[in-house]
Amino acid sequence: MRLKNKVALNTGGSSGIGRVIATVFAREGARVVVAETDNTGGEETAQMISDSREEAIFVHADVSKLADAERMVKTTAEKHGKLDVRTCK
């Protein structure tokens, strides 16, 4: 578990490579925050990770909007107390 006790913020995690990155990070021990504009896909990714007994939450965010970007980082910090890794597709 190379990412044990790390917190990863993953943007674009609703499908494709973004979803793969989120699930691999979780499998490697990271607590994952999936930030995405696609609510359905983002929630599905977070649920898939949770169903595998890893930890994940979903945050609706459009990274092109400053308020959304600030909120996704704030939510991550409030939930986990830190942010170690940021990934994007």
What are the structure tokens assigned to 55, written together?
């930890």
| Radius of gyration in angstroms for the set of CA atoms belonging to the chain, rounded to a whole number | 11
Indicate the pairing of strand 56-60 with strand 7-11. Answer: unpaired
39 located within any domain: yes
Q: Using pLDDT thresholds of 50, 70 and 90, give the confidence band for residue 89.
A: low
3-class secondary-structure state, position 53 = coil
pTM: predicted TM-score of the whole model, two decimal places:
0.93
Domain of 79, in residue numbers: 7-88
Model confidence pLDDT, tens digit, residues 33-52 = 999 999 999 999 999 999 99
CATH number (domain holding residue 31): 3.40.50.720
Asked if residue 17 belongs to a domain, the reply is yes
Closest CA to 6 of 82, 74, 88: 82
* Residue 71 covered by a domain: yes
1 lies in some domain: no
Confidence of residue 87 (pLDDT cuts 50, 70, 90): confident
Q: Are 46 and 70 in contact (CB under 8 A)?
A: no
Per the structure, the count of domains in the chain is 1
Look at residue 83 and tell me if it is in a domain.
Answer: yes
